[in-house]
Amino acid sequence: MIRLKTEEEIELLRENALLVSKTLAEVGRHIVPGMTTLELNKIAETYIRDNGAEPAFLGYGGFPYTLCISVNDVIVHGFASEYRLVEGDIISVDCGTIYKGFYGDSAYTFPVGSISEESKKLLRVTKESLYLGIEKAVNGNRIGDISYAVQQHCEKNGFSVVREMVGHGIGKKLHEAPEVPNFGSRGQGKKLQEGMVICIEPMVNAGERSVHMHKDGWTLSTADKKNSAHYELTVAITKGKPRVLSTFEYIENNNI
């Protein structure tokens, strides 16, 4: 069942969304060659707790870390480790918070130093597809309008979208109805209504869309070992234009 949010609830979700956005920016400041992903995980946990919130992912369904850290061919849900980043890597950082009874959730894919032109294009197109999907997140449209916008932009640029993982509603639970796939048809799916709050999160592969699940039961990577990118923002549906609750501005302006 889709639970519509009041204005007061949307404000609490916005507080979480901004904290997640700032946490990602704090992590991003430390993404350099030689840094371990475990060190990044610790930075995020400390920052979240110092701001009066709890890490949403830590212990969620048994997940053992504050961040989902996915390097290169890992799509989502990668584990923090002693792996040291190297020049040319790309690293998706997915972060969640719990604050005042509500959740926040956002993701960003960072370059590590100088990256290849193909990786630059993958990151650019994936982020563009997110914003194209957000444009369709308006009252009266359907989930499929978002899904179609994401899929078409990625595929016309020679990439593929992951179908095993989807975006989702968010509120007092991290994952609520409706699901928000990154593939689909215009005019199909649940109708978007004022008061819905959803996370739109394209997961896009440089190669084929086939995936491989690791033995840990969490880590999902590309079957062909090519890179994957992931971006996520939280959006409230209003009668007017979409209200984006989280932001990449703290990351991209290097200002928190």
What local confidence, expressed as pLDDT, does residue 254 receive? 77
- Banded pLDDT at 256 (limits 50, 70, 90): low
CA distance 138 to 191: 10
- Is the backbone peptide bond immediately before 178 cis, with ω within 30 degrees of 0? yes
What local confidence, expressed as pLDDT, does residue 96 receive? 98
Check whether 255 has a pLDDT greater than 70. Answer: no
Return the C-alpha torsion angle 28, 18, 68, 1, nearest 10: -160
pTM confidence score: 0.98
* Degrees, nearest 5: CA angle 166-171-174: 50
CA distance 12 to 171: 9
What percent of the chain clears pLDDT 90, i.e. is strictly above it? 98
CA distance 233 to 52: 22
Check whether 208 has a pLDDT greater than 60. Answer: yes
Given a contact cutoff of 8 angstroms between Cβ atoms, the answer to whether 12 and 100 are in contact is: yes
Mean pLDDT, residues 222-249 taken together: 97
Closest to 181 measured CA to CA, from 191, 196, 167 = 167
What local confidence, expressed as pLDDT, does residue 44 receive? 98
The per-residue pLDDT for range 88-118, each reduced to its tens digit, is 999 999 999 999 999 999 999 999 999 999 9
Given a contact cutoff of 8 angstroms between Cβ atoms, the answer to whether 152 and 202 are in contact is: no
Amino acid making up residue 46: T
Question: What is the CB neighbour count within 10 angstroms for residue 1?
Answer: 5
Q: Residue 16 to residues 111, 177, 188: CA-CA distances in angstroms?
A: 25, 19, 30
Check whether 166 has a pLDDT greater than 80. Answer: yes
Domains of the chain: 7-252 (3.90.230.10)
Question: What is the DSSP code string of 93-134?
Answer: EEEEEEETTEEEEEEEEEE-SS--HHHHHHHHHHHHHHHHHH
Mean pLDDT, residues 209-236 taken together: 98
The per-residue pLDDT for range 48-76, each reduced to its tens digit, is 999 999 999 999 999 999 999 999 999 99
What mean pLDDT value characterizes the chain?
Answer: 97
Strand, coil or helix: 242: coil
Place of tokens 């994401």: 150
Given a contact cutoff of 8 angstroms between Cβ atoms, the answer to whether 230 and 201 are in contact is: yes
Q: Residue 75 to residues 94, 106, 141, 230: CA-CA distances in angstroms?
A: 11, 15, 28, 7
Check whether 134 has a pLDDT greater than 90. Answer: yes
Check whether 246 has a pLDDT greater than 60. Answer: yes
Check whether 38 has a pLDDT greater than 60. Answer: yes
